[in-house]
Amino acid sequence: MAGIRGRTLVVNLSGSERAVREQLAVILPVLAHAVETLRGQGGDCGR
């Protein structure tokens, strides 16, 4: 589960090590874009 509070991205990860590794494998490639978008610097999203 993830959400935004103000300009902060909050990501909750599962409790097991394996689940966290799997979830981070999905999140990390798009994290920089998410932070840029929160800062108002993001480019085209989903276009």
pLDDT for the residue numbered 19: 95
The answer to the question of residue 46 being in a domain is no
The answer to the question of residue 20 being in a domain is yes
- 1-47: pLDDT as tens digits: 889 898 888 999 998 999 999 999 999 999 988 888 888 886 666 66
pLDDT for the residue numbered 46: 65
The answer to the question of residue 44 being in a domain is no
The answer to the question of residue 14 being in a domain is yes
pLDDT for the residue numbered 34: 86
CA atoms within 13 A on the CB side of 5: 3
pLDDT for the residue numbered 6: 86
> What range does the domain containing 31 cover?
2-38
The answer to the question of residue 11 being in a domain is yes
